[in-house]
Amino acid sequence: MKKTTCVLLALAAIAALFGCAGKPADNSAAQSSGESPQPASEPVSEPVSQPDESVSQPEESVSQPEESVSQPEESVSQPEESVSQPEESVSQPEESVSQPEEPEKVYTDGKKLVVFGDSITALGSWGRTAADELNMYFFNGAKGGITSAQGIDRFPAYVAGRGADFVTLLFGMNDLIMVSAGKPRVTPEQFETNMKKLVQMVRDCGATPILLTANPLDPNRFWSAQGQGKEMYESVGGDPLAWLEVYNDVTRKVAAEEGVYLVDMFAACDGVPYSELLYDGIHLSQKGNGIFADALIAAFKEHYAQDPEAERVNNESDFIDAASVPDRISIISDEPAGWFTADAKLLKIEKTDDGLKLFNTNGQWPEAECLPVSPVSVPVENGYLYYDLSTVGVNASILLFFGGSTPSAYTEGTYVSINAKLGAKVNEVGDITPGQDLKGKIKLSELGIPAKNFKDGRVLITGVKAFVAGAANKPVILRELSVGTE
């Protein structure tokens, strides 16, 4: 009897040990499912309450006592491991909480802002004002009169190679214009497709797109400003302001669907009288430009930070110094993609062994624009313009732009026609006449560049425009337009 009792007590002890080995597994499961882990002392109490079940299989239990006894030692060590895991998992949320703050630590200082769109951007001062406030480099690649479709064509030459970190996209004002009753230049559906394309193009060049809605227009001045008749808008309610909002709504939709930052300029201008907001019923006045700049600055500060210790950006330093390189620096592209024309059907550009050929297709006056990838700074006194071109069968005109001004918009006193300066024969309006081969160099000081463009004895060349007029399909051949020093 005593022997039986001893056996039973031994078996009970073994059963208790098996109970301890099983409990940590349950505890580990609780941890993996996110439940709070149980105290390490708790597993011991449960198995003791069920000795009879363990006794019911004495022979099986007794047959492996040594093996069974050794297991608890292994399993006892497991709770220590599992207890330590919550400490690791507790630290992880702290890391994940800090991650959303990362965008706030991206500084605008030293980044580059490119603004792109139609005349609201091309003629506006708001982009440069915002860039100056945010301590960013700046470039305006916009052009007056263009639609979103023409923006896609213009993008490679004016945005893709500019090293932008951020690109604003503002279109719609020209897209909505009716070419005939009820037929806009770009339909809202096509406008949506174009804006999504532009967003992707910005992303493809490694920049962050920012969509802007267009400012309100003055319905009463719209007709004369755009040469439009009210009857052309009857199918869309006859209200050009409401029609503009259709396009702005598309911009808002694209921003939401593409996950793009939106600055709602239309909303920012709400309540401001047209007479204060606009100078001609469409384009921004000084106050309007201020509203745009403030809204853009606020949007940047909402998502990005500024480094109070960062050096101030000097936009005038973002150039190539012609005096620092031994060779001439071309101020035009020798690739068709480096040029922009508002209507590629009217002006063709082709690369040939003889140079770049530009020719119109209908005898009219199409124009082509080109910007050097970086502006070129040249000393005026010992700086030269080198040229090599032929007017095979048409008139031509070439303009140079200075001091940050681009062919996108004419700023008084910041450009000059070089036609007669090249020793060319010109007609009564100053265009180079057909059938001339012109090659040589001329001092920059002899080009008649307005003095306002000189700074510290240097001039900054920022763009070239070429007109081709006369007989259809007769080319102007550009072989060289470059600058250098001697």
Does position 50 have pLDDT exceeding 70, yes or no?
Answer: no
449 and 471 inside one domain: yes
Confidence of residue 334 (pLDDT cuts 50, 70, 90): very high
295 and 348 inside one domain: no
Confidence of residue 409 (pLDDT cuts 50, 70, 90): low
294 and 378 inside one domain: no
As given in the structure block, the two tokens for residue 376 are 């070129």
Query: Which residue, 299, 317, 335, sits at the end of a domain?
Result: 317
Q: How many CA atoms lie within 13 A of 280 on its CB side?
A: 9
Q: pLDDT tens digit string along 152-205?
A: 999 988 899 889 999 999 999 999 999 999 999 999 999 999 999 999 999 999
As given in the structure block, the two tokens for residue 71 are 């297991």
Question: Of the candidates 369, 370, 368, 372, which has an alpha carbon nearest to the alpha carbon of residue 322?
Answer: 372
Q: Residue 266: which CATH number?
A: 3.40.50.1110
254 and 374 inside one domain: no
At 161 the pLDDT is: 84
| Alpha-carbon dihedral angle through residues 250, 138, 293, 145, given to the nearest 10 degrees | -50
Relative orientation angle of helices 240-258 and 188-204, to the nearest 10 degrees:
40
279 and 311 inside one domain: yes
Confidence of residue 367 (pLDDT cuts 50, 70, 90): confident
Domain around 472: 320-485
Burial of 320 from C-beta contacts in 10 A (0-12 / 13-18 / 19+): middle
CA distance linking residue 142 with residue 212, whole number of Å: 14
Query: Which residue, 100, 131, 161, sits at the end of a domain?
Result: 100
Residues 197-215 have a mean pLDDT of 98
Question: Of the candidates 442, 335, 331, 435, which has an alpha carbon nearest to the alpha carbon of residue 390?
Answer: 435
279 and 326 inside one domain: no
351 and 285 inside one domain: no
146 and 266 inside one domain: yes
| 404 vs 429 pLDDT, higher one | 429
Residues 352-372 have a mean pLDDT of 89
At 69 the pLDDT is: 41
At 164 the pLDDT is: 96
Query: Which residue, 293, 317, 341, sits at the end of a domain?
Result: 317
Question: Of the candidates 146, 158, 32, which has an alpha carbon nearest to the alpha carbon of residue 89?
Answer: 32
Domain count within the chain? 3
| 52 vs 122 pLDDT, higher one | 122
310 and 242 inside one domain: yes
Q: Residue 410: which CATH number?
A: 2.60.120
Q: How many CA atoms lie within 13 A of 463 on its CB side?
A: 27
Residues 382-405 have a mean pLDDT of 92
43 and 94 inside one domain: yes
17 and 47 inside one domain: yes
At 470 the pLDDT is: 86
Residues 404-420 have a mean pLDDT of 81
330 and 385 inside one domain: yes
At 24 the pLDDT is: 36
Q: What is the percent of the chain with per-residue pLDDT over 90, rounded to a whole number? A: 62
Q: Which range is most confident: 24-38, 176-190, 326-340?
A: 176-190
